[in-house]
Structure 1
């Protein structure tokens, strides 16, 4: 659902740019409360994983494909504020390096794909978790529903922005029907990917899933007929740190394999927005991308003629760049928290 330059006029693009900048500023502050010594190193990995899975377009209807938006996945794994930052980093890398999503439309894309999906998904997720039984399967089920609903909500948000600032004269009702219809189908794929990923992490390290915090009761010991909390053992903490590094390594390898190899087999059909834009004429005033002549534009390396190799190398570069930039951002946020005057617990919820 990457919106190119020219779909939305300058005033609305500017307003969404201000909204996106404000949301990022709020998220940088909120992420200081979400990130700790376990999750901070994983936040950059989550951004890289979202980048890699977004390269895997899956067919949803005749001549139409979809891809992960990632807001629900990021919010549940690392928290809603950090989730907004994760998806924003991905969108920035895609726009600058791969000419995917207009640069003047960056505010539109961040508002739609980072803010709307994350806020909607996490609100739905928290609501479901409160009423479902406190077990791991409930987290996975809530993840599925939250991701499913987040995608058509993003389609609704785009339609609203188009109604306010669309550059073509297409009836809003037609845009709404087409966008929501195809993105409900894409939402099913989003939900499946999100639930499978969250379920896989919970099965290995539930303590690393932000949305599952508090799911596991602390270990109790019976002393003198009374139950007391078992003390945390130092060796266990050391094992936890090593396990976190192991999860990080496995996650990075998975992202590299998906972007560098599996992406070659992704659907070549246009995604939901591209298909609707072409069929309804929304793209009549689309403008060339500002970095359309970059060496990686279109997710390929310009000087490599072999399509499989070109796309694979571009995917590897994208994952590497995203994990470096994302990790740098989250390391800085975590360091800012640690250096706050009142210490790392100054902003505890």
Structure 2
């Protein structure tokens, strides 16, 4: 889709309360505020009716532009669509990743609707995919609370649990890991996500415990800038893989690969600028023999469903961080993705598969 067209971009703000406040390095989050985008192709009349595509921009401090900058970018995109068409609109928001995510997702949804194909098949032109594996997230809590959360996740059918660590002492987190493994049994994959919390010495200590309790992935144990430190940890690890999340935005895929800093990379579509960008990154990481893992940034249903389609477009994708709807007390509309036995059931309707959300 190039040049001037019949496309109209509209957007409206929203605020979604979280089920409970979330503590992060950037402060406490009690709501997710952003913009729902609707892209309308007016068509050419009765024989070519209007088609709609949806996008979502949900900025997150530390990962994307601010809410104010996002709104300014969407206004630029609206003008660019009217005056110059889709390519100009994408260029106008190139440096505002959440805004670009919304515009590119709306364009992709619109085109998949035109082709009457599910979004994931539009992204990869591949076979039908019924499900993608997802992990349960076990938040920070006491050892007994961690064990109880893990047990409930396993009872709900999850065979991969990711423990949030780094907010407590290393000894406390090791005890939490011990309880999680006891609750999960031997057949469940355990991952740890430290969100840059540790020094090298602390991470080294946790790595020993991770080997003992059969942890599969240790995610972002050191600050994002510490490529050499991550490479050294990876060299020491026997069976635990090192994954980078924050480090992906700071360094890029090529630098991570060249330094040997990771076995896997976490791709957040909202933070990298769209599912189209994330899809290209996933293809490149696979070529470089790194494993791509898709996660959300606690998004509304439009962006979250887009991330499910992205995961479905990646061959042999591992368990992804897509089971985040429960973190929201409210949403933009009905969720078309069913979570069942540790998998997300991929919508097979055309486009995103999302019903009308504009007037919710």
Q: Which structure's residues are more often strand, by fraction?
A: 2
TM-score (norm 2): 0.28
Higher relative contact order (CA 8 A, sep 6+): 1
TM-score (norm 1): 0.29
